[in-house]
Chain A
Amino acid sequence: MTQDPLLSVQNVTTQFVTEEGIVRAVDDLSFDVHRGETLGLVGESGAGKSVAIRSIMRLISSPGEIVSGTITYKGHVILDRSQGPDGEVRDGEAMLSEAEMRSKIRGREIALIFQDPMESLNPVFTIGSQLREFIEINRDLSNAEAKAEAIELLREVGIPEAESRYHEYPHQFSGGMRQRVLIAMALACKPDLIIADEPTTALDVTVEGQILDLIEQLKTEYETSFIWVTHDMGVVAEICDRVNVMYLGELIEQAPVDELFHETKHPYTEALLRSIPKPHETTGEFDPIRGIMPDGMNAPSGCRFHPRCPDAREVCMSVHPDLREIDDGQNAACLKYDVFDADYDDSPPLVVDENGERVPAETVESVGGDD
């Protein structure tokens, strides 16, 4: 951890301007990715995971806009943007142009793997020709060399009968095989960082296992770093070294994977872990998080998790916690820790009804806590 991080994301904020108002899909996001590590980015739908990684690749298009933040990657300034008091955004001088992003970063230095491989592959061209063309363009190889390389890559990602399947079309591949093709494409330029957006979510559990094995094997072979976006805590436990947990556009916990599962700091992470049905023991019941994920437009005041939080106190409604170091290498954004100095201990417990509205303490008898 002493060396410079491979990718450093600082205070990135991305917002979407809609008819109803402004949604901060990603709010003040900061994290580092080190060489060779797999960083998990975890959250439920609406947490802003996808916007976060698209912000890193500068793939946000209207009505979305990255309004501020700095992102550096191996000395390249991917993003250096600040917002003046007038709301005008200003870019730093060293920031890469859009053309440079295309020619230097995307695909070559940082590769993306999407959830739905069918949408990333052109249905009218063969798998082989798409892979070959990608290699040809990005690595300046001749047609024949690129083809040999493509077949080699297909074999490497475990596609059987690579030579004959080179000539097949995407629809002739199963979901797992298509995802392997995308992984092959991501690996084609030997990038140092691969960002994977829920790459195994659409796959069956046995196929997911095959892909996770493949990633594990490729990691040791290529020493590639990964940002692994997922909502599946099982996958996180399986392959991540460190984990970022997001809730409503904000990072609420950052921890090494073992600490995240065994010394969980944030109540949201804790509740999320509790809500997972356990495959290897019968518990007989489920332990959900109460309420629903609020709309990004109407993010709750104070701590954004407070209407659903079992540990919420009155103070959580008004004070917004930022991410602070709680333990060595472990950050969390929760007022219950002393570093926040927010009089949490003296604040009375917060009682909310199922809509997340505060209920005055004396009228409370029982609160039905779902949906």
Chain B
Amino acid sequence: MTASGEFETGDANRHSGTATGTTDSTDDVLLKVDGLSKHFPVESGLFSGLNVSWDGRVPSVGYGREYLKAVDDVSFEIRRGETLGLVGESGCGKSTLARTILRLLEPSSGSIEFEGRDITTLGGEDLRQQRRNMQMVFQDPQSSLNPRQKIGQIVEEPLKTHGLLDDEGRETRARELLERVGLDSDHYNRYPHEFSGGQRQRVNLARALALDPDLIICDEPVASLDVSIQAQVLNTMTELQEEFGLTYLFIAHDLSVIRQISDRVAVMYLGKIVELGNKEAVYENPKHPYTKALLDSIPVPDPRKRSERETLGGDLPSPVNPPSGCRFRTRCPELIAPDAYDFSDAEWAALRELIRTIDRQLVEPSPPEALRRQFLNDVDLPAAADESVERALELFADGEPDRAAELLSESFVAPSVCARDVPSYEVDSTNGTEARFVACHRYAEETPTE
């Protein structure tokens, strides 16, 4: 298997492993995505690459484009007939990933293989033919149907585009498809605005099915529907999968929906897959701290389980300048202590709390002793560490919170393995025979021999 780090430029990646999980035979792999990245230039235009920095006395001018790393080095496989759930919060790049796989966006690097055929650079008529095999269901039932076309025209368009069937045959097929997705064949002559959100999503499904594709990528297909309607549409999707032998890449932010519909689950954070594995394994025994945090933060629809929810703090970092190493490290509750200091767990926890507080300036500038009392009362830091802390606290007290945060970050966060290396590990699943992928240095020891 190809190492996922191979396509990463310049990153010293000691570990390798695909996020695919090991499969017994590669025959049933329908889609293979390897090291796929999609970077957008932050601004386009003649002078957009020009950077003026006002830090010094003389403004320094530099030229160099910034890129938004929407999808960065993502690898996975989808097997024929399965549903791979892709879950992540807004801004994690899951929609960009879907569009890049479908070649609606041009990949920046990496490869996409469909049934063993590399479609990364396919163009023109070849790409147009390839599109027959992969379809998409979109999120917004309002905007995904042309308001000026009748339902019949919408469902027939794929057939027409690929020159399949004659007029009559297309109409028969369209009516049949409408019935298959739970609509009435009489809806053929209606316009989209006459339908509810759930029904429009069914029209979307009918259009996607028209060419009898192998793979359907569903981008948040039920996110904008009421919960009772969601369930109707999801049931139909499951039925269609069995009937047509479909393979789904099902993208959602709703972990509950993903759990019910997927066979395997991939969790994305800030452009990268952080965990991928068998659904039950991921939900019952989440390994990555982000997966754990996601699962813990869902409000449970049962007032007797109120206390079970836990909250993940912090904000999503900018995908233009993502954190080095593990992208989740800025919010991670399980950040690994740097080797240099030999902290105890309690010391490290107290110190992290202090770093977080100063970094986010959650308190007003106050004398070092007060902050020490508040955060480091019970712990006795090693001398080398204590010196840095003292200097940072003084800076903070002097009203230079940014420099204080910088100093703390340099001393304690940067040396951590989480900031130095991009994590990428395959671990043995405790639940089933399949290996699973976890992008967290906590699982470095569990990596099977490479």
| Chain A residues proximal to chain B, CB less than 8 Å | 44-45, 155, 158, 160-164, 174-177, 204-210, 212-213, 231-238, 240, 257-258, 260-262, 271-273, 275-280, 282-290, 292-293, 368, 370-371
Contact = CB atoms under 8 A, between A and B. Distances in A.
A266 to B, nearest CB: 14
Interface hub of A231, A238, A285 (most chain B Cβ within 10 A)? A238
A295 to B, nearest CB: 10
A184 to B, nearest CB: 15
Interface hub of A205, A238, A261, A370 (most chain B Cβ within 10 A)? A205
Contact of B301 (A45, A273, A292): A273
B299 A162 contact: no
A370 B232 contact: yes
A238 B309 contact: yes
Q: Can you list the 4 inter-chain pairs with the closest CB atoms, starting with the nearest? A: A288-B231, A160-B360, A234-B299, A286-B231
B298 interface: yes
Contacts of A283: 260
Interface hub of B199, B230, B303 (most chain A Cβ within 10 A)? B303
Contacts of A370: 182, 232, 235-236
Contacts of B316: 174
Contacts of B309: 209, 212, 238
B311 A210 contact: yes
Contact of A238 (B196, B228, B254, B306): B306
- How many of chain B's residues touch chain A, expressed as a range? 35 or more
B299 A208 contact: yes
B202 A232 contact: no
A44 B199 contact: no
A132 to B, nearest CB: 18
14 contacts: A160-B359, A161-B361, A205-B255, A209-B299, A209-B312, A210-B311, A231-B227, A234-B301, A237-B299, A237-B301, A277-B260, A278-B259, A288-B230, A371-B199
Contacts of B182: 368, 370-371
Nearest to A212: B299
Interface stretch (B22-30, B161-169, B289-297, B377-385): B289-297
B306 A288 contact: no
Interface in B82-130: 89-90
B66 interface: no
Contacts of B407: none
A282 B259 contact: yes
B313 interface: yes
B304 interface: yes
B263 to A, nearest CB: 11
A204 B253 contact: yes
A44 B231 CA distance: 13
A147 to B, nearest CB: 15
Contacts of A204: 89-90, 253
Contacts of A287: 231
Nearest to A241: B303
B155 to A, nearest CB: 16
Contacts of B234: 277, 286
A282 B255 CA distance: 11
Contacts of B299: 208-209, 212, 232, 234-235, 237-238
B260 A276 contact: no
Interface string B232-243: 101110100000
B362 interface: yes
Given A204-B89, A210-B313, A282-B259, A231 B301 contact: no
Given A258-B303, A271-B228, A277-B254, A206 B293 contact: yes
Interface hub of A209, A212, A236, A371 (most chain B Cβ within 10 A)? A371
A234 B304 contact: no
Nearest to A292: B196
A206 B294 contact: yes
A44 B232 CA distance: 15
Interface in B336-382: 359-362
Contacts of B68: none
Given A208-B299, A282-B280, A289 B294 contact: no
Contacts of B311: 206, 209-210, 212-213
Contact of B202 (A210, A233, A280, A371): A371
A142 to B, nearest CB: 21
B450 interface: no
Given A232-B299, A236-B301, A277-B259, 7 more contacts: A160-B315, A160-B361, A205-B294, A205-B298, A209-B312, A240-B303, A286-B260
Given A204-B90, A204-B253, A288-B232, A279 B298 contact: yes
B303 A257 contact: yes
Interface hub of B299, B309, B359, B360 (most chain A Cβ within 10 A)? B299
Contacts of B260: 277-278, 282-286
B188 interface: no
Contact of B259 (A45, A160, A210, A279): A279
Contacts of B228: 44, 271-272, 275, 288-289
B89 A205 contact: yes
Contacts of B295: 279
A177 B360 CA distance: 13
